[in-house]
Amino acid sequence: MKALLIDKPGSTRLIEKDLPTPGPKEVLLRTRVVGFCGSDLTTFRGLNPLVSYPRIPGHEIGATIEVVGSEVPATWQIGQDVLVLPYTACGACAACRQGRANCCQHNETLGVQRDGAMVEYFVAPHDKLLTSSKLSLRELALVEPLTVGFHSVARGRVSPDDTVAVFGCGAIGLGVIAGAAFRGARVIAIDVDDNKLELAQRCGATIGINSVKGSLHAQLQELTDGHGPEVIVEAVGLPQTFRSAVEEVSFAGRVVYIGYAKMPVEYETKFFVMKELDILGSRNAMLADFNSVIQLLEGGTFPVEAVITKSVSLSEAGTILESWSESPSEFTKIQVDFK
Ligand SMILES: [Zn+2]
Ligand SMILES: [Zn+2]
């Protein structure tokens, strides 16, 4: 069977691998659709601090059960389409002991700290499977990237009383927007690209602000009667947006960071204290976030086909990674269709 390997930064090739055999509590999955995550792009570019090479990427998965291990419960049947929770949890670290396995100190995400799903067949433990008979394979593969945004609004305790501003309308930002709207909040989407803002509105944003056209501060103030948004979620990863989140959020506001800034960020820390801010990080997602996203997609209102900007075959996967690296803003979500 074939797999896509990232050899080293900037270099991919297709390799042959042996078909794995599932253990008693595992299933053998036939890969059908795998989305590329921003972290796969970061790995390709050699900028992912969590990854080692060579690495098979991929953790946004839609797959079909091919073989069921002897101790797998009968809820899982051959031929069923599933998605896979791509994280592990050690069960013993401080995060796990607090019930927050999503940020386990020793987490290994598929395609990052261990080989991922950009391969024709792979095995997974049955307790990492989720499914919905209402979702297509493309939708199943879209669940995980959207959960990251849903988790961030859970971290920000977003409620219907809140105005939430979201910095960045890439794949992750769109999940934040959909998640905040799902919780009934008023959502302001912020980006530098009008097309992305239009897509953001289809994902649930009430209004979009193009931050290169006019003053972001003035527009946010005007939209919030001079208070600023109660919650700001940063999904860009630049020092200026990290800072701007703290400056623009309301007094007693909540700031949630999802992305990793690629360089150190300098802050005017007086805002932390003066506004008594909650500064929150958000990593991966919890089971509840997966269930909420499945519910959203089952509702059929999320613009799935507009968000998936490109579908390619496994043999084209390496080339599309190069194109994405050259023009990152041209793609929102790329999926590899294994047929
Ligand atoms: Zn990801
Ligand atoms: Zn742990």
Is there a single domain that holds both residue 155 and residue 110?
no
pLDDT at 262 (0 to 100): 82
Distance from the alpha carbon of residue 98 to the mean position of ligand 2, in angstroms: 9
Q: Is 46 left (phi over 0), alpha (psi -120 to 50) or beta?
A: left
Ligand nearest to the CA of 96: 2
Is there a single domain that holds both residue 167 and residue 276?
yes
The burial class, CB within 10 Å (0-12 / 13-18 / 19+), for 235 is buried
Residue with tokens 């890969």: 31
Distance from the alpha carbon of residue 206 to the mean position of ligand 2, in angstroms: 38
Distance from the alpha carbon of residue 288 to the mean position of ligand 2, in angstroms: 18
Domain encompassing residue 77: 2-131+303-337
The one-letter code for the residue type at 127 is D
Distance from the alpha carbon of residue 65 to the mean position of ligand 2, in angstroms: 28
pLDDT at 49 (0 to 100): 86
pLDDT at 215 (0 to 100): 96
Ligand nearest to the CA of 284: 1
In a domain, 110, yes or no: yes
* C-alpha span between 76 and 118 (Å, rounded): 22
Ligand nearest to the CA of 97: 2
Distance from the alpha carbon of residue 200 to the mean position of ligand 2, in angstroms: 34
pLDDT at 155 (0 to 100): 98
Q: Are 32 and 338 in contact (CB under 8 A)?
A: yes
Per-residue model confidence as pLDDT tens digits over 306-320: 999 999 999 999 999
Distance from the alpha carbon of residue 209 to the mean position of ligand 2, in angstroms: 39
Distance from the alpha carbon of residue 152 to the mean position of ligand 2, in angstroms: 19
Q: Are 130 and 65 in contact (CB under 8 A)?
A: no
Ligand nearest to the CA of 107: 2
Is there a single domain that holds both residue 152 and residue 270?
yes
Residue 330 per-residue DSSP state: G
CATH number (domain holding residue 254):
3.40.50.720
Which residues in the chain land under pLDDT 50? none
The burial class, CB within 10 Å (0-12 / 13-18 / 19+), for 161 is exposed
Distance from the alpha carbon of residue 172 to the mean position of ligand 1, in angstroms: 9
The answer to whether ipTM exceeds 0.90 is yes
Ligand nearest to the CA of 95: 2
* C-alpha span between 86 and 31 (Å, rounded): 14
Is there a single domain that holds both residue 328 and residue 225?
no
Is there a single domain that holds both residue 124 and residue 9?
yes
| Residue 66 Cα distances to 35, 57, 81, 128, 285, angstroms | 20, 21, 10, 16, 27
Q: Domain count of the chain?
A: 2
- Candidates 174, 168, 188, 117; CA nearest to 145 is 174
Is there a single domain that holds both residue 24 and residue 75?
yes
Ligand nearest to the CA of 285: 1
- Residues paired with 233 in a beta bridge: 166, 256
Ligand nearest to the CA of 108: 2
Distance from the alpha carbon of residue 109 to the mean position of ligand 2, in angstroms: 13
Distance from the alpha carbon of residue 128 to the mean position of ligand 2, in angstroms: 16
Is there a single domain that holds both residue 42 and residue 108?
yes
In a domain, 124, yes or no: yes
Is there a single domain that holds both residue 11 and residue 125?
yes
Distance from the alpha carbon of residue 309 to the mean position of ligand 1, in angstroms: 17
- Please give the angle made by the CA atoms of 277, 281 and 283, to the nearest 5 degrees: 160
Ligand nearest to the CA of 92: 2
Distance from the alpha carbon of residue 127 to the mean position of ligand 2, in angstroms: 17
Is there a single domain that holds both residue 96 and residue 180?
no
In a domain, 292, yes or no: no
Ligand nearest to the CA of 89: 2
Ligand nearest to the CA of 61: 1
CATH number (domain holding residue 319):
3.90.180.10
Distance from the alpha carbon of residue 122 to the mean position of ligand 1, in angstroms: 18
Question: Cα torsion at 54, 261, 188, 300 (round to 10°)?
Answer: 10
Q: Are 119 and 2 in contact (CB under 8 A)?
A: yes
Q: Is 163 left (phi over 0), alpha (psi -120 to 50) or beta?
A: beta
Q: Is 198 left (phi over 0), alpha (psi -120 to 50) or beta?
A: alpha
Is there a single domain that holds both residue 241 and residue 329?
no
pLDDT at 312 (0 to 100): 98
